[in-house]
């Protein structure tokens, strides 16, 4: 079963590598983008994954900053998925650049007036914080793995442990654990505003654009942030229900995660309602028309089926079944994540489909000057491939590191004692 | 309870620190802000502007063709377009024409968002793009309220180009020639008032080509220039966005 899984996901990853190669050699003409719809599917995935990352990270701080012990079991997996989601988001924005080979320009030719320039720095700081947190959190486990593993695996683990080896007596171990605890808190405290900056900032990318009336609102960054929390909580619910064996699952944990998800969805719906209803009230054409097209136009289903059904109604119904099994909870999480993808789509693409100047759409007709956008097969394959690569890396990390186990759980098995004695 | 209090305190401190960080960031941004650069009145340099008299435009698109020829733009790139609309009700119908070039805004939203500073407001008032710096993120295209920017997808760069496609052409201060993978492919391109011609003292190609003499071009810093005189009583597109365009229109005002 596990082998089959890795085989399939590995095959998809190879497709992803091919697609990246093809994209890098052939350029953006492989996409269905036009000069007027300048951002498409890849940018949708980029903000989707950055949101997933920020959401997961903020959930992990509940454990490490706010000491909510009941969520401790998802702390590690939250941080790990925050890391890999960020990697996925950055990969998507990388292949979306017209000149990916010049990505370093953003770090060298800084531009203080550009939010995108600030964001790139935020992403890097944020990534460093996550990596540092993960290292502190896992160093003990990894150094134990270094001792156990052999050959290539040992080398990899040694590399990842950055020279940390487990102390030889329990007193020092206790001291190191305390140090870890302290550092987790400090990094988490720095991390909270950074994570908020990462995703609210990504929302501001859109919020400041005066040319697109639909985005140009103070609510846009807030909407990004809240939907990030929704997707983060949904991912945690999905991962916990999926990865932890049924007999070991903690029902109160599932319940409280579900409650949290419902709360976030409710706040998200409130903000969406506020933003869209206010937008629909007046007759500002490039706001009202965009919203009408989005809700009742050709692609009405992305809003009603995707954003509302999958993203809100289905998860709330599934989670409110009193004796719902963990499979139902996992489904609720999955459905929310798909719904949030639709939210991201509707945040980006519809605003482009209205001509900024009436008549411009017929002034000069060409395939690359249309106000229409449907992602082509290549864009979908590339996206699928990139996501597979990240899922593969994530699965490998999950498979080789004790992410889903907690300290208490291990002490029950007597592993900690063994580990210390072995040294 | 005791522990909770500390948590709350830390939470407050965190939020404060976060806010402080954001404010500091905003301050830094403001201090470097484009507005400050713009407010320095520069009378020594020329500041180019264009006036388009809609009452004289006959919609012949000579400007579009002259522009394509001058800048050797592939079919999917447009610097100059003429927006054509049927107006009025039968039997009193007429066509209205609105030539749209880059507005060369004094407060260009596209320049403000560029993450690498590849697109700049030059001292002579022209908004330029550095094809060697542009990373092709297309954020500026999103920010332009006039749809004046196009992305060079690298199409129509054939292995065996025809004589027009193969001919070298100048943009800004560099000579380019179409070829696979060569600049300005995968960058954003836009109208630059034919800055290479203007630097030589020539008029932009569209102004030269205009049949009805609907276009006027010159130095807006010189109050006696033809363009300055014509610009009096003119209007600009989407003036409510505060972009302060340097392309002015004469004739019946259009709201868009």
Task: Give domain limits for chain A.
Answer: 251-353
pLDDT tens column, B1-12: 444 555 666 777
Residue B87 pLDDT more than 70?
yes
N- to C-terminal Cα distance for chain A?
Answer: 35
Would strands B247-250 and B48-53 be described as parallel, antiparallel, or unpaired? parallel
Angle at B97 between CA A216 and CA B247, to 5 degrees: 55
How close is the nearest chain B Cα to the Cα of A73, in Å?
20
Q: Which pLDDT score, from 0 to 100, does residue A406 have?
A: 52
Q: Which pLDDT score, from 0 to 100, does residue A344 have?
A: 95
Nearest to B142 by CA among B176, B118, B186, B110: B110
> Distance between CA B15 and CA B2 in Å, rounded?
20
Tokens of A290: 């965009």
Tokens of A146: 């270094």
> Distance between CA B204 and CA A201 in Å, rounded?
40
CA torsion, ordered B8, B14, B20, B23, to nearest 10 deg = -100
If residue B48 lies in a helix (H) or strand (E), which one and from where to where?
A: strand B48-53
A13 or A69, higher pLDDT: A13
Residue B32 pLDDT more than 70?
no
Q: Which pLDDT score, from 0 to 100, does residue A418 have?
A: 37
- Closest Cβ opposite residue A360 in set B83, B154, B242: B83
Q: Which pLDDT score, from 0 to 100, does residue A45 have?
A: 96
Confidence of residue B50 (pLDDT cuts 50, 70, 90): very high
> Distance between CA A295 and CA A297 in Å, rounded?
6
Residue B37 pLDDT more than 60?
no
Partners of A28 on chain B (C-beta within 8 Å) are 136, 151, 153-154, 186
- B55 touches A at CB < 8 Å: no
> Distance between CA A88 and CA A49 in Å, rounded?
6
Nearest to B97 by CA among B238, B200, B210: B210
- Give yes or no for a contact between B99 and B52, defined as CB atoms under 8 angstroms apart: yes
Q: Tell me the average pLDDT of chain A.
A: 88
Residue B242: how many other CB atoms lie within 10 Å: 11
> Distance between CA A103 and CA B255 in Å, rounded?
39
Query: What is the arithmetic mean of pLDDT over A47-65?
Result: 92
Q: Which pLDDT score, from 0 to 100, does residue B42 have?
A: 58
- B241 touches A at CB < 8 Å: yes
- Give yes or no for a contact between A129 and B165, defined as CB atoms under 8 angstroms apart: no
Burial pattern B67-105, b for ≥16 Cβ within 10 A else e, equals bbebbbbbebbbbbbbbeeeeeeeeeeeebbbbbbbbbb
Q: Which pLDDT score, from 0 to 100, does residue A410 have?
A: 40
> Distance between CA A362 and CA A369 in Å, rounded?
9
Confidence of residue A421 (pLDDT cuts 50, 70, 90): very low
Q: Which pLDDT score, from 0 to 100, does residue B1 have?
A: 42
Residue A423 pLDDT more than 50?
no
Query: What is the arithmetic mean of pLDDT over B46-66?
Result: 93
Query: What is the arithmetic mean of pLDDT over A239-248?
Result: 85
Nearest to A308 by CA among A279, A340, A278, A348: A340
Angle, helices A170-207 vs A41-64, to 10°: value is 140
Q: Is A114 helix (H, G, I), strand (E, B) or coil?
A: coil
Angle at B137 between CA B131 and CA B139, to 5 degrees: 105
DSSP characters over B95-128 = EEEEEE-----SS-HHHHH-TT--EEE-TTS-EE
Q: Which pLDDT score, from 0 to 100, does residue B33 have?
A: 54
Please, which residues 99-158 of chain B have a Cβ atom closer than 8 Å to chain A? 100, 109, 111-118, 133-139, 141-147, 149-151, 153-155
% of chain B beyond a pLDDT of 90: 55
Q: Which pLDDT score, from 0 to 100, does residue B31 have?
A: 58
How close is the nearest chain B Cα to the Cα of A130, in Å?
17
% of chain A beyond a pLDDT of 90: 58
> Distance between CA B130 and CA B133 in Å, rounded?
6
Q: Residue B120: beta bridge partners? A: B128
Confidence of residue B256 (pLDDT cuts 50, 70, 90): low
Residue A415 pLDDT more than 50?
no
Residues 6 or more apart whose Cβ sits within 8 Å of residue B27: none
Residue A175 pLDDT more than 70?
yes
pLDDT tens column, B182-224: 878 899 999 999 999 999 999 999 999 999 999 999 999 989 9
B17 or A374, higher pLDDT: A374
pLDDT tens column, A287-310: 899 999 999 999 999 999 999 999
Q: Is B61 helix (H, G, I), strand (E, B) or coil?
A: coil
Angle, helices A41-64 vs A219-243, to 10°: value is 70
Residue A119: how many other CB atoms lie within 10 Å: 22
- Closest Cβ opposite residue B117 in set A109, A205, A209: A109
Q: Which pLDDT score, from 0 to 100, does residue A176 have?
A: 84
Residue A74 pLDDT more than 90?
no
- Give yes or no for a contact between A66 and A192, defined as CB atoms under 8 angstroms apart: no
Confidence of residue A230 (pLDDT cuts 50, 70, 90): very high
Partners of B182 on chain A (C-beta within 8 Å) are none
Query: What is the arithmetic mean of pLDDT over A124-133?
Result: 93
- B34 touches A at CB < 8 Å: yes
CA torsion, ordered A258, A260, A261, A264, to nearest 10 deg = 160
């Amino acid at each position: 079963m596990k082998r089959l899984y890795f085989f399939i996901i590995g095959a998809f990853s190879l497709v992803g590598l091919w697609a990246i190669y093809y994209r890098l050699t052939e350029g953006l003409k492989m996409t269905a983008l036009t000069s007027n719809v300048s951002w498409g599917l890849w940018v949708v995935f980029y903000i989707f994954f950055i949101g997933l990352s920020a959401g997961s990270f903020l959930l992990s701080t509940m454990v490490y900053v706010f000491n909510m012990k009941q969520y401790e079991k998802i702390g590690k997996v939250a941080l790990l998925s925050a890391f890999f989601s960020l990697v996925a988001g950055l990969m998507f924005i990388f292949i979306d650049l017209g000149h990916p080979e010049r990505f370093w320009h953003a770090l060298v030719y800084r531009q203080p007036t550009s939010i995108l320039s600030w964001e790139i720095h935020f992403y890097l700081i944020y990534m460093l914080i996550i990596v540092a947190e993960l290292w502190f959190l896992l160093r003990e486990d990894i150094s134990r793995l270094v001792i156990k593993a052999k050959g290539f695996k040992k080398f990899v683990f040694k590399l990842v442990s950055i020279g940390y080896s487990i102390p030889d007596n329990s007193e020092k171990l206790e001291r190191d654990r305390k140090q870890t605890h302290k550092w987790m808190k400090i990094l988490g405290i720095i991390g909270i505003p950074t994570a908020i900056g990462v995703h609210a900032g990504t929302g501001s990318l859109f919020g400041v654009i005066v040319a697109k009336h639909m985005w140009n609102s103070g609510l846009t960054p807030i909407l990004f942030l809240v939907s990030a929390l929704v997707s983060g909580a949904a991912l945690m619910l999905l991962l916990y229900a999926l990865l932890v064996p049924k007999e070991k699952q903690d029902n109160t944990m599932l319940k409280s995660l579900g409650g949290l998800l419902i709360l976030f969805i409710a706040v998200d719906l409130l903000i969406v309602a506020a933003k869209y209803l206010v937008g629909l009230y007046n007759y500002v054409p490039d706001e009202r028309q965009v919203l009408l097209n989005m809700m009742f136009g050709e692609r009405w289903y992305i809003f009603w089926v995707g954003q509302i059904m999958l993203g809100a109604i289905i998860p709330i119904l599934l989670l409110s079944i009193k004796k719902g099994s963990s499979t139902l909870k996992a489904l609720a999480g999955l459905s929310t994540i798909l719904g949030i993808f639709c939210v991201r789509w509707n945040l980006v693409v519809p605003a482009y489909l209205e001509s900024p100047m009436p008549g411009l759409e017929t002034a000069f007709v060409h395939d690359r000057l249309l106000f229409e956008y449907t992602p082509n097969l290549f864009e979908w394959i590339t996206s699928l491939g990139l996501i597979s690569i990240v899922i593969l890396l994530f699965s490998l990390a999950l498979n080789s590191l004790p992410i889903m186990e907690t300290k208490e759980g291990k002490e029950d098995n007597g592993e900690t004692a063994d580990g210390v004695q072995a040294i | 309870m005791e522990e909770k209090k500390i948590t709350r305190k830390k939470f407050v401190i965190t939020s404060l620190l976060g806010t402080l960080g954001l404010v500091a960031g905003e301050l830094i941004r403001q201090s470097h802000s484009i507005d400050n650069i713009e407010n320095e009145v520069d009378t020594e340099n020329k500041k180019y502007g264009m006036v388009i008299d809609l009452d004289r435009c006959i919609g012949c698109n000579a400007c579009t063709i002259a522009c394509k020829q001058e800048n050797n733009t592939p079919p999917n790139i447009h610097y100059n377009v003429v927006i054509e609309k049927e107006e009025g009700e039968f039997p009193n119908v007429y066509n209205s024409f609105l030539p749209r070039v880059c507005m060369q805004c004094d407060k260009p939203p596209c320049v403000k968002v560029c993450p690498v500073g590849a697109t700049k407001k030059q001292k002579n008032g022209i908004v330029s793009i550095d094809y060697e710096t542009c990373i092709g993120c297309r954020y500026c295209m999103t920010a332009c309220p006039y749809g004046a920017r196009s992305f060079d997808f690298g199409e129509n760069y054939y292995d065996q180009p025809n004589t027009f496609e193969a001919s070298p052409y100048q943009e800004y201060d560099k000579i380019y020639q179409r070829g696979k993978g060569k600049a300005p492919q995968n960058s954003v391109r836009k109208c630059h008032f034919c800055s290479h011609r203007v630097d030589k003292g020539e008029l932009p190609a569209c102004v030269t080509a205009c049949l009805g003499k609907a276009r006027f071009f010159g130095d807006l810093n010189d109050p006696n220039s033809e363009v300055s005189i014509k610009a009096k009583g003119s209007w600009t597109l989407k003036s409510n966005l505060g972009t302060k365009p340097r392309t002015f229109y004469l004739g019946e005002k259009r709201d868009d």
